[in-house]
Amino acid sequence: MKVVILAGGLGSRISEETDTKPKPMIEIGGKPILWHIMKIFSAHGLNEFIICCGYKGYIIKEYFLNYFHHSSDFTIDLKNGEKEIHNKNSEQWKITLIDTGLNSGTGGRLLFLKDYLKEDFCMTYGDGLGSINIGNLIKKHKESKLLATVTAVKPPGRFGSLALFNGKVKNFIEKPEGDNTWINGGFFVFSPKIIKYIETTSEPLEARPLQKLAIDGQLGAYKHSGFWQPMDTLRDKNNLQKLWNSDSPPWKVW
């Protein structure tokens, strides 16, 4: 099964980093968050990726074109150009990089891939991490026989919570859970038939296409109660870095 990763957005809410690079290339632990996402899927046996490029997509292309040399130790003789590889720290990945436009919507980017998607495929965004069991997600999708399955997650609390009574704080919670609402966690399994729900390249997937799939009774949900964290802001990036520096970053399933 192929994995489509949407990696073409501007990432304007984290402009401190995206002025010089696309959002999926922001590093966590010295590796782009895109690499972490791919490692999650690879740990579940999915090694064929289609990356939808857009904003500064050439940086993503150059990263993978030079990936082998960046991840290996070697000696090069500049006199004759001979090269000796000492180790081969690479991945078993097959990667297709497609320019899907600078201003395309998240749904519109899939229109560029219609000739590449002939069977059910996974899809995710290039800026979110989680301990999602991809195998169970795919199993849920296949059992449902629906056109689409979305991973439903509960968002983490971003701010402290105060319980007030008569001018006094009765309870203080530094990082409360979300409001118990399930939201789109960004890890999908789709039938290629969902392409017909997308009309223009500017269309967001999360608007009319997913809403129409839901109305048609073709959108299933896989509930994930474990770790999930998007990287929308610099604060999110710093939090992910702190987790990576811990003994066991929760999305590291490889």
The number of residues making up the chain comes to: 254
Q: Classify residue 208: in a domain, yes or no.
A: yes
- Please state the rounded mean pLDDT for residues 59-81: 89
Residues 194-220: tens digit of each pLDDT: 999 999 999 999 999 999 999 999 999
pTM (two decimals): 0.89
Residues 82-132: tens digit of each pLDDT: 888 887 777 999 999 999 999 999 999 999 999 999 999 999 999 999 999
Q: Classify residue 83: in a domain, yes or no.
A: yes
Q: Classify residue 104: in a domain, yes or no.
A: yes
Q: Classify residue 166: in a domain, yes or no.
A: no
- Return d(Cα 123, Cα 100) in angstroms, integer: 15
pLDDT-above-70 percentage for the chain: 91
Residue 111: half-sphere exposure toward Cβ, Cα within 13 Å: 17
Angle formed at CA 21 by CA 20 and CA 24, multiple of 5 degrees: 155
Q: Classify residue 200: in a domain, yes or no.
A: yes
Range of the domain at 141: 2-154+181-244
Q: Is the pLDDT of residue 170 over 90?
A: no
Q: Classify residue 162: in a domain, yes or no.
A: no
51 neighbors 8 (Cβ within 8 angstroms): no
CATH of the domain at 138: 3.90.550.10
Number of H helices, E strands in the chain: 8, 15
Q: Classify residue 134: in a domain, yes or no.
A: yes
Total number of domains constituting the chain: 1
**How does 133-169 read in b/e, with b if 16+ C-beta sit within 10 Å?**
bbeebbebbeebebbbbbbbbbbeeeeeeeeeeeeee
Q: Classify residue 170: in a domain, yes or no.
A: no
